[in-house]
């Protein structure tokens, strides 16, 4: 076993919890990979935008997908179970995956998110994403006509 | 406190875009665009696929202003009844202004899908010259172009992946368009020229197929003989979808084909068989067991016995298109064999004659009993009964599309001589997900009462020679909340029905009424009350709008909601009120 496989990193969440991970798993996050390649790795690596609960989940996914003994279909099975989470958690995970630049996790999460959003009304989307409507009544009326009349 | 909840409205744009990338339906993209202003902006700048169901509902300029990064555009022109020759050829639906606008604004167009549009050679040339990344052209039921336009596409589109021509009227200029694909063209994935009338250079076709290693779908026209097809198949064992040309040849070629076919293990979709000799058919038996889609509707030369011999091998079939020469017995074999069948279309082989080639209610019942996954049917038949339709409704509650067409449009129940109201009524009651319905036979207002009451998901309804009074149409307009397209011909619906709820038409894409009881005066009233509808009257008997009286019945009326007012390209015989 070469030393690079055993090299570990310490990741620190925004709420100061530390997680030890294999470097070979962690570099799936391009943000971390860049730090490693530029030899800017501090000890621990602070992740200001990711809390411990979310970081633990990201690490779970990261390590599963780094396992060379698992087949693609086994990884897919894991993914299917992994995304069975409340919508709020999915959104937080998406933000974390974006911050860490973890492409594979992003794809799985965004795809799940989009599938759940199928046939949602505008109001439902606003509610689940916690977005304020900033249209005036007139603007919204005009926008609402264009879509179904032209683009459906 | 969750970290993201404090970020009201804050989702990085790239994250939103990434989520939107996975939203596949236009409906969903439309919904997210309305969430708030920043989402509208992100969505509009990231939408690459745009669908426009009525090319006159919006203008090219507005399309490009809203979606400047559009790469794939779908446009539909003439209304559906154009398929039955009810819409004059030059009514409209020109693609030229769309192409010109996109050229002018530097749109990076890669895909264009057109249905019932008028396409000129000039349009095709512009398309081929000004969109360097153009990859895919799909033309369905279009006309106005010739093989010269196709030559431009072949010559100039360096990265062409798809050229798919379905049921178009194409003028043959004998110009060897297929030879215009340069030797450097190796990118083709799909080539369908089955609807073309003229010959193509066979050697050029064979070389093209040989160098396009990613070719998955090839549908040739009737001028391509069997021996050429046989050589092509040797070059392209990776084909998934094959449309044969002429299937007539000497026994030696048939044998060669029969030995070559087993190598084509990937073929799951088969069509063509234009001009077929039944003795050649056994050549395809070996691939039948893989087939999921089979289209024999252009093959009047295959009779019931041969059809049955072919179909009894096709146990994986999901989609079947045949002529009514298959007969009720043949449909019985389909019912026994094709347990995975989802879509069935039975076309009339002899729509005007009184030949023996027909199917009846028996065939339909057999299919419904055997093919429980059926969700889409188009059935041209000699006769029908209520009892049969009631049985079908019970067997197959999952219909999404149900189109029945009796060859005699007002024929009653063949056994009881009653109207077919109860039968169709059973269909709408049972099939809760029904989105598209075409009815025929003797039908009264009662049927429309059932439709209005039960067809909650109905989006498209076609009516011909049906109903007794305005009440029929009113039942439908009042009841079907999701109705998008209503097309009516030769039915006694008039002004009262047309004008009862004018606001309804702004919730629909379009309404077509021909040979009904609607007068010019009523159409004018409607146009006046509803400025956001284009109300068009098609008057082919000549004469000016000023000469016509308001009490004159209107031959053909087509109205549709639009964001851009009356169109400026209407020919003289189309009066925009």
Cα–Cα distance, B463 to B473 (Å, whole number): 10
* Segment among A133-147, B34-48, B308-322, B490-504 with least mean pLDDT: A133-147
pLDDT for residue B81: 95
To the nearest whole Å, the CA of A137 is away from the closest chain B CA by 12
Tokens of A72: 């693609």
Residue of chain B whose alpha carbon sits nearest to that of A101: B15
DSSP H or E run through A95: helix A87-100
Q: How far apart are CA B400 and CA B103, in angstroms?
A: 39
| B-chain residues near A119 (CB < 8 A) | 27-28
Choose the closest CB to B18 out of A14, A106, A117.
A106
Q: Is A24 on the interface with B (CB under 8 A)?
A: no
Q: What is the pLDDT of residues B391-416, one digit of tens each?
A: 999 999 999 999 999 999 999 999 99
Nearest residue in chain B measured CA to CA from A117:
B28
Taking CB atoms and an 8 Å cut-off, how many pairs form between chains A and B? 113
For the cut 90, the answer to whether the pLDDT of residue B354 exceeds it is no
**pLDDT of B3:** 45
pLDDT at B552 over 60: yes
| Model pLDDT for residues B131-141, shown as the tens digit of each residue | 999 999 999 99
Contacts of B37 (CB under 8 A, 6+ apart): A134, A135
Separation CA B198–CA B208 (nearest Å) = 18
Dihedral angle sign, alpha carbons of residues B296, B301, B304, B305: negative
> Is any Cβ of chain B less than 8 angstroms from the Cβ of A132?
yes
Cβ-defined contact of B24 to A121 (cutoff 8 Å): no
Beta strands B533-538 and B556-561, pairing class: antiparallel
pLDDT at B371: 97
Instruction: Tell me which chain A residues have a C-beta less than 8 angstroms from the C-beta of B21.
Output: 110, 114
Residue B31 and residue A125: Cβ atoms within 8 Å?
yes
Check B62 against A150: CB less than 8 A apart.
yes
Model confidence at B351, in pLDDT bands (50, 70, 90)?
A: low
pLDDT digits (tens, 9 = 90+) for B81-122: 999 999 999 999 999 999 999 999 999 999 999 999 999 999
- Which pairs with CB-CB distance under 8 Å and at least 24 residues apart come from B237-240? B237/B263, B237/B264, B237/B265, B237/B266, B238/B213, B238/B214, B238/B266, B239/B215, B239/B264, B239/B266, B239/B267, B240/B216, B240/B266, B240/B267, B240/B268, B240/B269
CB hemisphere CA count around A26 (13 angstroms): 26
Q: What is the pTM of this model?
A: 0.92
For a pLDDT cut of 70, what percent of chain B falls above it?
97
Select from B44, B137, B28, B52 the least CA-distant residue to B563.
Answer: B52
What are the two backbone dihedrals, phi and then psi, of residue B377, each rounded to the nearest 5 degrees?
A: -140, 140
The better pLDDT of the pair B249, B506 is held by: B506
Backbone angles phi, psi at B185, to 5 degrees: -80, 110
- pLDDT band (50, 70, 90) for residue B5: very low
* Partner-chain contact B31 A120, CB within 8 Å: yes
Average pLDDT, chain B: 92
Length of chain B: 577
Nearest Cβ partner for B36 among A106, A133, A144 = A133
Distance CA(A106)–CA(A30), nearest Å, equals: 12
> Rounded to an integer, what distance in angstroms lies between the CA atom of residue B127 and that of residue B138?
13
| Chain B residues whose beta carbon lies within 8 Å of the beta carbon of residue A113 | 19, 22
Show residues of chain B in contact with A51, CB under 8 Å.
3
CA–CA distance, B342 with B368 (Å, rounded to integer):
11
Q: Quick check: B435 and B460 in contact, CB under 8 A?
A: yes
Contacts of A122 in chain B (CB under 8 A): 31-32, 34-35
Check residue B568 and give its pLDDT.
94
| Angstroms from B502 CA to nearest CA on chain A | 16
Look at residue B45 and tell me whether its pLDDT is greater than 60.
yes
Mutation test of the interface with chain A: which of B12, B15, B435, choosing the one with the most A Cβ atoms within 10 A?
B15
Render the burial of B363-400: b for 16+ CB within 10 Å, e for the rest.
bbbbbbbbbeebbbbbbbbbbbbbbbbbbbbebbbbbb
CA distance B144 to B125: 13
The beta-carbon neighbor of B33 closest among A92, A113, A147 is: A147
Residue with tokens 């409704």: B393
Q: What is the pLDDT of residue B90?
A: 92
B463-474 b/e with 16+ CB inside 10 Å = b? Answer: bbbbbebbbbbb
Has residue A2 got a pLDDT over 60? no
Mean pLDDT, range B349-357, rounded to an integer? 67
How far does the CA of residue B73 sit from the closest CA of chain A (Å)? 11
């Amino acid at each position: 076993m070469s030393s690079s496989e055993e090299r570990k990193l310490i990741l620190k969440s925004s709420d100061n919890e530390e997680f030890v991970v294999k470097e070979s798993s962690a570099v799936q996050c391009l943000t971390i990979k860049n730090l490693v390649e530029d030899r800017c790795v501090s000890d621990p690596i602070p992740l200001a935008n990711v809390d411990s609960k979310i970081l633990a989940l990201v690490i779970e996914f990261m390590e599963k997908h780094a396992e060379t003994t698992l087949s693609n279909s086994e990884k897919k099975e894991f993914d299917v179970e992994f995304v069975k989470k409340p919508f709020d958690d999915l959104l937080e995970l998406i933000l974390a995956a974006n911050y860490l630049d973890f492409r594979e996790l992003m794809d799985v999460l965004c795809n799940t998110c989009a599938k759940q959003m199928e046939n949602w009304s505008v109001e439902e989307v606003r509610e689940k994403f916690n977005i304020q409507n900033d249209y005036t009544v007139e603007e919204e009326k005009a926008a609402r006509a264009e879509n179904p009349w032209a683009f459906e | 406190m969750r970290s993201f909840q404090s970020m009201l409205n804050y989702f990085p744009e790239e994250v939103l875009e990434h989520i939107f990338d996975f939203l596949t339906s236009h409906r969903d993209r439309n919904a997210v665009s309305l969430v708030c202003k920043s989402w509208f902006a992100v969505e509009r700048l990231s939408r690459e696929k745009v669908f426009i169901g009525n090319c006159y509902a919006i203008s090219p300029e507005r399309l490009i202003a809203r979606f400047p990064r559009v790469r794939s555009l779908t446009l539909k022109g003439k209304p559906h009844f154009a398929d039955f020759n009810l819409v004059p050829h030059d009514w409209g639906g020109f693609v030229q202004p769309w192409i010109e606008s996109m050229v002018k604004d530097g749109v990076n167009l890669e895909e264009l899908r057109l249905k019932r549009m008028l396409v000129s050679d000039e349009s095709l040339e512009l398309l081929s010259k000004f969109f360097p990344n153009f990859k895919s052209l799909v033309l369905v039921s279009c006309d106005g172009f010739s093989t010269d336009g196709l030559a431009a596409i072949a010559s100039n589109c360096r990265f062409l992946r798809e050229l798919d021509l379905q049921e178009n009227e194409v003028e043959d200029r004998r110009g060897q368009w297929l030879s215009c694909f340069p030797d450097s063209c190796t990118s083709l994935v799909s080539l369908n020229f089955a609807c073309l009338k003229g010959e193509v250079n066979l050697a050029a076709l064979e070389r093209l197929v040989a160098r396009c290693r990613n070719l998955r779908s090839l549908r040739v026209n009737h001028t391509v003989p069997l021996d050429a097809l046989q050589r092509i198949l040797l070059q392209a064992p990776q084909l998934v979808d094959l449309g044969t040309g002429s299937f007539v040849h000497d026994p030696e070629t048939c044998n060669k084909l029969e030995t070559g076919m087993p190598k084509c293990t990937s073929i799951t979709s088969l069509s063509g068989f234009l001009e077929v000799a039944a003795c050649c058919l056994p050549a395809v038996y070996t691939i039948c067991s893989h087939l999921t889609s089979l289209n024999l509707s252009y093959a009047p030369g295959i009779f019931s016995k041969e059809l049955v011999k072919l179909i009894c091998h096709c146990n994986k079939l999901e989609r079947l298109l045949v002529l009514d020469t298959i007969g009720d017995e043949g449909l019985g074999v389909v019912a026994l064999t094709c347990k995975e069948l989802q879509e069935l279309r039975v076309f009339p082989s002899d729509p005007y004659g009184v030949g023996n080639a027909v199917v009846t209610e028996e065939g339909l019942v057999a299919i419904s009993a055997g093919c429980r996954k059926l969700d889409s049917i188009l059935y041209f038949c000699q006769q029908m009964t209520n009892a049969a339709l009631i049985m079908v409704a019970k067997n197959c509650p999952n219909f999404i599309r149900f189109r029945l067409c009796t060859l005699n449009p007002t024929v009653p129940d063949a056994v009881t001589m009653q109207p077919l109201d109860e039968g169709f009524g059973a269909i709408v009651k049972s099939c809760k997900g029904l989105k598209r319905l075409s009815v025929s036979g003797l039908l009264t207002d009662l049927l429309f009462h059932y439709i209005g009451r039960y067809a909650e998901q109905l989006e498209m309804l076609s009516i011909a020679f049906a109903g007794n009074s305005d009440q029929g149409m009113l039942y439908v307009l009042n009841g079907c909340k999701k109705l998008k397209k209503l097309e009516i011909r030769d039915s006694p619906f008039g002004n009262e029905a047309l004008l009862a709820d004018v606001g309804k038409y702004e919730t629909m894409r379009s309404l077509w009424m021909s040979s009904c009881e609607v007068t010019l005066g009523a159409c004018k009233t409607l146009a006046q009350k509803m400025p956001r509808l284009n109300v068009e009257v098609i008057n082919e008997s000549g004469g000016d709008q000023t000469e016509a009286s308001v009490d004159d019945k209107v031959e053909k009326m087509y109205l549709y909601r639009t964001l851009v007012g009356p169109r400026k390209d209407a020919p003289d015989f189309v009066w925009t009120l």
